[in-house]
Amino acid sequence: MIYYVTPTYPRPEQVPELTRLAHTLMHVPRIHWIIADDQPLCSDVVLNILRRTNLPFTHISSPKPFLYKGTNFPRGVSNRRAAVAWLQENVSDGILYFGDDDNTVDLELFDEIRNTKKVSMFPVGLIGGYGVSSPVVKNGKVAGFFDSWPGSRTFPVDMAGFAVNMKFLKPSASMPYIAGHEEDKFLVSLDLKMEDIEPLADNCTKILVWHTKTAKYKKPTVKINLKQFDGEPKFQNFVNLLKETSRLGMASIESNNGTKPYIIRDRKSYETLTGLQ
């Protein structure tokens, strides 16, 4: 069983990114999706996506500690720590893999990491100034690392660039709240040695996972008073669309402020729906 750990947090891109990832994971046999939600309560929106996949899943509330509220870093640490704690309490066999909700994964990677004995590593595309982050393999063994940010790290790898056998996940496993050092310190906490690393992806010559990033979308506010549609059943579909847009976090619908919308018909713009009468 592969335990695919995905940190996530509410934002306009969250639903499409989780939907895209879900449709990849639905092709993978023997996989358990663990979504760690950066909210005080597990999101119904995320839960709905999980249920629709028909995959075995665990949904964990794992909000960022108050100390780091309002900052971008370190991102995803509380989520991954919560997932690792759940695994240590509930799982003894299988493979742990950290897969962010904005990653793109080739299905071949799942076949490869399933054979991990201790810790396997492989290249990740679209990383930093080199375009890729990867172990350097010499005579079938990892001899070093190719990463554009050394950062005085023992294991300068991306979060998506390794998998861990659950039997190697020691009780000492921990991930620090130190930006850029999450992967390294986690692997060091496993007491990992260079000779333990298993290079995959044809001796790290193939890229099977990419750190793709969706462009950040600034959530707009649209000035629409939905009460004006009360008693207008013919426009109920449109009202439901606006409510769904708000529910999924893609835009805020406000009656008193925001962008003034227009309805277009026959190349003419109308401030109200009267043009559709």
Say which CATH number the domain at 187 has: 3.90.550.10
Q: pLDDT tens per residue, the chain (277 residues)?
A: 999 999 999 999 999 999 999 999 999 999 999 999 999 999 999 999 999 999 999 999 999 887 776 666 678 999 999 999 999 999 999 999 999 999 999 999 999 999 999 999 999 999 989 999 999 999 999 999 999 999 999 999 999 999 999 999 999 999 999 989 999 999 999 999 999 999 999 999 999 999 998 888 899 999 988 887 766 777 788 888 899 999 999 999 998 999 988 877 777 887 776 556 5
Using CA atoms, how far apart are residues 112 and 114, in angstroms rounded to an integer?
A: 5
Residue 183 a catalytic site member: yes
The structure's pTM equals: 0.90
- Strand ranges, E, within 54-118: 57-61, 95-98, 104-105
The reply to whether 44 sits in an annotated binding site is no
Q: How many domains, in total, are found in the chain? A: 2
Which of 169, 191, 210 lies at the terminal end of a domain, its last residue?
210
Q: Hey, how many other C-beta atoms are within 10 angstroms of the C-beta on 201?
A: 24
- Strand ranges, E, within 46-140: 57-61, 95-98, 104-105, 119-121, 124-125, 132-138
**Of 17, 112, 182, 183, which residue is the catalytic one?**
183
Domain that holds residue 16: 2-210
